[in-house]
Structure 1
């Protein structure tokens, strides 16, 4: 291996690592606020890429129908909750309309605009608008009632949600894979490297999102509320911070990050309905490196996973996945020795 090959592999690894970093940050965010090890994070990647691909073809994406199903199920849950607690009819109707209002509106907008084949950027924005509400709806249906359950119970629920989303992805998107067009087709030569515009967009978008997340947590009231919930749920509740709202917001942000990651990775690889699981697992490896608690370490771990995957594919392409996931074992051993656990009560 000479320097030119090493530099090409390093660029490829850092590009993939930037995507894994976004997923790792989302997983750390969700776990810090809700204690949910969010294995289905990768499914939003697949949903984002496939939604944009179908919009490119001028078709109404299956995301629309899936979103309407989830919105209807959540609205029915709200009505049932209101009836059980004997809330007024007006209050029940308002809650149901609030739950279903945005999903129905954005779905109707997508049905109207899909055949028009809008410009790529407009389709990307519509994709984000369609996929982002999934986070809130999934949290309310699957996790909200179990907010005080143990981490093990929440992990089991995450496994079930993953299988449900993969199955729904097959039903609504089909088994066909798609590869999206690049957002920027320019190419730049830097020595032995050829850097394309999509790579620069991935780096820029990842950096911008990381900076915005930092500003959100450091400067905004909602971000500080999320941090307080992550540090001490009971203390935050006693201070008047809604842990329910914090959970919904964290899942919504995770869905947005996943959808954005799908838009970024779509032009670089063919995405199938179940591709998100493998991509999300690599983000999870980076999150484990960070102990599911540190955003900077999650970023470092994600870049390391990307580089390990890239160089591993060069030296032993048949075992690159084994190499990437095998690195979890020494990390877990290091974490176990460094931070001895205590029994959960």
Structure 2
């Protein structure tokens, strides 16, 4: 049974889920007019066909756009395969079908489409069937892309090794080394997580991690944990020694006793943030719409509008409080799949 590394680790994991599963922050206004279908002399014939398909989709002509993509995919166009995978993943003009999306991502990936490879790994890991085979395939794709210089893959692998998720044994030094490498190469999303990790590890552990990150192309990936003897806290206790079953029991007991009440300070609880706007009344209408569409999912959650910390003059729809990180993540995944942009926010 996997061990628990502490609150700092849970915080990092929660932020990871919010990044992978949440659409970017956007005001809840009407969409912009679709672009006209304009030919470009700079595009090849195949590229122009893809652009025509995407223009049709933007204009709401799902049937025409999808038909063009299917024709191109049958001709071996990897870009068409990639966009078909996106349509099936998001459920555009059809029901969501993860298996079909995975099929098209794989076909595009085999044809050398890097974005399809990354999307394939992300979908397998975060929204797949939860089998060891699926996790192993995702890790293999990420590892290949990482060694080819893809920073998002390097960062995601770092998070997985840090937390010991899925089919991977916890390997915090390898994880920090990968996240450090992503930051050094300019991947901004990894900066805050690198700071959290750095605050937990000893100087010796950080040095070992940085040595690994620096020589990643030579060291590669293995199942052997890096320098586990260095994983100790300031009192010398092993960071890998906590019993996961005790932590799970504690979470279960807390969930059973949980009471859904509006907190005095939302930043002190696990919560969801869904959408933003400059008008509070619009947020309330949006909340009512979510409540109608996702009544069984929302349940007893309390909602509130709070000023955005990153967008002056804007308000965010906050929902919660959540009894646990896992509960917050599960609901956020479901809301995201239903088309509602959602972020999981951890207690500060």
The normalised TM-score by structure 1 is 0.26
* Structure ranking higher in strand proportion: 2
Q: Which protein has the larger Cα radius of gyration, Structure 1 or Structure 2?
A: 2
The normalised TM-score by structure 2 is 0.26
* Structure ranking higher in helix proportion: 1
